[in-house]
Amino acid sequence: MGLALNGEDSTRERILGHSSERFFKDGFARVSVDEIATELAISKKTIYKYFDSKDDLVAHVVERRMGEVRRKVVSVIDTDRNFIEKLEALMTNIGVEISKFSKAFQHDLQRLNPELWQRIAEFRRKAIFENLTRLLDQGVAEGYVRKSVNTRVCLLAYVSIIDHIVRPDTLAEEPFSAAEALRSILAIFFHGILTEDAGKELEQRLQTPSSTPGR
């Protein structure tokens, strides 16, 4: 059980939580601090007590989300599941997390706050290398990933593909969402390095609803 929040922490979390919902759904360019204050039944002055500006609020919303994503990914990697079970959970969880970011929000970040967009890209690369390296090493050890595969090259290729496809200007021209793109990239990427039996097992798992905790 987590520690109870005091009054100030609770107010700050309410602001971050509600702002996250609004920003992720509608983008932050069209959502004003006045609207957030009205919807939370607090004064704008109260919001500025915790955040220096709207840009500061947006930055904290993004940092909060990256922390949540990091914890979820690590929670999957740190379990005692086998490689395929972890891969299935990651493919499901990543899709769920990314689906929370609307195209409007991603577009606003890239257009209006490129520095923050770059921080997200760097976070994504770091998370991929730290966690997928561990996962691939496990896959090789358990016989799911072909030993002839250069995992470093694979990860570099994976990051490059994501950087070029999962971005607002590309997604704006395509009918698929960021979540659909990531799931497809993961499927293509891993099917290419898995052994034949592992590929069949992964495909079967993805086609069959699972009740595995943590998904």
pLDDT tens, position by position, 147-190 = 888 888 888 888 888 778 877 778 778 887 777 777 777 777 77
How many whole angstroms separate alpha carbon 107 and alpha carbon 66?
17
Q: Which of 22, 176, 24, 27 is nearest to 107 (CA)?
A: 27
How many whole angstroms separate alpha carbon 169 and alpha carbon 190?
26
Q: Token pair of 76, please?
A: 């999957």
| H or E stretch at 74 | helix 54-77
Q: Which of 30, 122, 18, 140 is nearest to 70 (CA)?
A: 122
Query: What are the residue boundaries of the structural domains of the chain, listed by start?
Result: 65-207
Q: Confidence band (pLDDT; 50, 70, 90) for 200?
A: confident
CB 144 within 8 A of CB 205: no
Instruction: Write the CATH number of the domain with boundaries 65-207.
Output: 1.10.357
pLDDT tens, position by position, 98-147 = 667 777 888 898 889 989 988 888 888 888 788 888 998 999 999 988 88
86 CB-contact burial (10 Å; exposed 0-12 / middle 13-18 / buried 19+):
buried
What pLDDT score does 215 carry? 40
Q: Which of 10, 124, 14 is nearest to 69 (CA)?
A: 124
Longest dimension (CA), the chain: 61
Which neighbouring-strand residues pair with 194? Answer: 145
